[in-house]
Structure 1
Amino acid sequence: MPTDLEQTAQEIHSTPVSFPATDGYTLSGVEYRPNSAAKANIIISSATGVPQQFYRRFAEYAAKLGYQVLTFDYRGIGRSAPSKLKGFKMSYLDWGRYDLSGAIAYMQQHGQETFLVGHSYGGQALGLTSNHDQIRAMYCFGTGAGWHGYMPFKEKMKVHVMWNIVFPPMVAIKGYLPWSKLNMGADLPVDVYKQWRRWCKNPTYFFADPELSELTQQYAAVQTPIYAVAALDDDWALPNSRHAFMQHYAQASMHYINIEAQDYGLKQIGHMGYFRKGAEPLWQEVIGRFDELLVA
């Protein structure tokens, strides 16, 4: 039997778009629109090294239920990458500070309220934006502090090997992290790799970086309601890792949600299953919550 939400589904249109980050860098995205007037906007803020196409199914699902949805690639990733990644200079923080800020500004032109759906880094990025007050609420999945100590032993050892044995020679040879060669995502700019590796060595992630002391106050200024989801089989962002990061959104109305794959008819979720085919029952909860907030 179709749900009440699914019974309202309508045809959609998707259109490639480009828009500026707040520092002027041109970003590539896709807008998914319903046939009728959209009830609100949704921006999907991607995980590290995950191209926007990965979120297409969720975007289409939300658009069919009346939302105008934007997916986009951060600078250096996918369609927003330069022709040659070697030598491309940027900060890992640019994705939130400039790129997501630019996406928010772009979608605000449509006039409706805007929601954010973040995946992993995408949930971290809200606190880096200059216009987080324009986001009605954020639903994020798999957002954690990145420290291997929060992971189960097997995953901890795997991550240790990747960071310390596999990745360094690959980066030394290529001048960037050729992640695509390992089927782990899009290739990463070298600066992203270096910062990510350094921050993941600390239980409090980049909040422990003495060069980024301002971030604690910056994140504490966010008052956007946040729904932070952790799948209990997501070894990269288990509840303890999630709390280690999300606690820095000190003034936000925080809702911690733990989920198990079998409750959604899935064999597993892990770190990527939140947006894979079959996760529609989970997406229904997201859209249902946004619908409730629109009429609250």
Structure 2
Amino acid sequence: MIAPATGIKKEFYSAFALFLAENGFATLTFDNRGIGESKGDSINSSNASLANWGKLDMTAVLEYLKNEIPNTNYHLIGHSAGGQLVGLMKNATELKSMFNFGSSSGSLHYSKYPFRLKSSFWLNFYIPVSNLVFGHTKSQWVGMGEPLPKNVGKEWTKWCNGKGYVKVDLDTKIKDHLYNELNLNSLWIHAMDDEIANYENVKDMIRVYPNIKSKILTLSPKEYGFTDIGHMKFFSKKKKELWNMATKWLNEN
């Protein structure tokens, strides 16, 4: 199960998913509600939120995968939000392991300057103003993926201004979750040039899963002969040599 980043369509992961399938893994990609083929009739009337993506959409995707390929082990590969929201899945305890890239709290508290200023502008000015004027977030205008339903943007702003991302609303607004129950093996990969998922933010997100077995792997682009990896390019075909990390993890777990 490949769980996408915020506002990223399933097609972004097609080549990576095909690679996994060619290596023997039944693999499923999907669009969260309000995104891509799950956009619906009107983005402004969508009930999409980060919480609903985890609680409803990701839960449903795992159920579909279980029905299509029963009686096996199930693993999640999360990109950014895809690894953040796992504890909201009602069936999360049925996952055998989790492999994440670029998943972190994205907290402004641990962001470095000057990126912190850019991120603060995005979260605290651009998203609220766009929601007010258009009824949704015009993410595509600033190269941040697909347009976002307004409640996705609102939660993104709230959670990244705090610590622990979804932890901001846990046990208050969000009372039903499995973050404390999960004890699966997990690998958290991030790139040294990823300004969102820096090392401190990755650790901040892991703390929301107090009982999981976690390992952090930091990638240096230069070590692999790349100029950059950043927050997105692990899944690029040009970075295909990194993908064996995923198959190695899946085979070992």
- The bucket for the TM-score relative to the shorter chain is over 0.9
Partner Cα separation in structure 2 for residue 265 and residue 186 of structure 1: 30
Tell me the equivalent position of 1:289.
249
CA distance in 2, matches of 1:165, 1:212: 24
Deviation at 1:213, TM superposition (A): 6.3
Please name the residue that 2:167 is paired with: 207
The Cα shift of 1:168 comes to 2.8
CA distance in 1, matches of 2:127, 2:245: 37
Q: Distance in 2 between matches of 1:291 and 1:169?
A: 46
- Give the TM-score normalised by structure 2: 0.93
In structure 1, C-alpha distance between the alignment counterparts of 2:241 and 2:78, rounded to whole Å: 17
Distance 1:98 1:89 in 2: 11
Mind listing any 5+ residue stretches in structure 2 that lack a counterpart? none
Q: Note if contact 1:151-1:236 (Cα within 8 Å) is conserved in structure 2.
A: yes
How much has 1:184 moved relative to structure 2?
A: 1.5
Instruction: Name the amino acid aligned to 2:227.
Output: K
Asked if the contact 1:206–1:212 (Cα under 8 Å) also holds between the matched residues in 2, the reply is no
Q: For each residue in 1:256-277, what CA deviation from the matched residue of structure 2 results, as whole angstroms up to 9, or x when unmatched?
A: 1111112223211111111112
- SS of 1:230's partner is strand
- The answer on 1:158 being equivalent to 2:118 is yes
Aligned position for 2:14: 56
Q: Say what the alpha-carbon RMSD is for the aligned residues.
A: 1.6
2:184 match: secondary structure: coil
Work out the CA distance in 2 between the residues paired with 1:290 and 1:173: 45
Regions of 4+ moved over 6 Å: none
2:53 corresponds to which of 79, 92, 95: 95
Contact kept, 8 Å, 2:93 with 2:181, in 1: the verdict is no
The structure with the largest strand share of the pair is 1
Contact 1:132–1:224 (CA under 8 A) maintained in structure 2: no
Structure 1 position 204, deviation (Å): 2.8
SS in 1 for 2:56: helix
Number of corresponding residues: 250
Where relative contact order (Cα < 8 A, 6+ residues apart) is larger, the structure is 2
CA deviations over 1:119-141 (Å, ceiling 9, x no partner):
00100121111111221111001
Q: Which has the larger radius of gyration?
A: 1
Which SS does the other structure have where 1:219 is aligned? Answer: coil
The equivalent residue for 1:257 is 217
Decide whether the 8 Å contact of 1:115 with 1:137 is kept in 2.
yes
Structure-1-length-normalised TM-score: 0.80
- Per-residue CA deviations over 1:166-190 (Å, capped at 9, x if unaligned) read 3333222210012122232011111
Q: Provide the rounded CA distance (Å) in 2 between the counterparts of 1:100 and 1:264.
A: 33
Percent identical residues: 28
Q: What CA distance in whole angstroms lies between the structure 2 residues aligned with 1:286 and 1:101?
A: 22
Secondary structure in 2 matching 1:139: strand
Paired residue for 1:108?
Answer: 66
Instruction: Decide whether the 8 Å contact of 1:234 with 1:269 is kept in 2.
Output: yes
- Provide Cα deviations, 1:178-223, integer angstroms capped at 9, x if missing partner: 21222320111111111111111112333133724647x7311011
CA contact (8 A) 2:127 2:157 kept: no
Q: Do 1:46 and 1:122's aligned partners in 2 also have CA atoms closer than 8 Å?
A: yes
**Equivalent in the alignment of 2:38:** 80
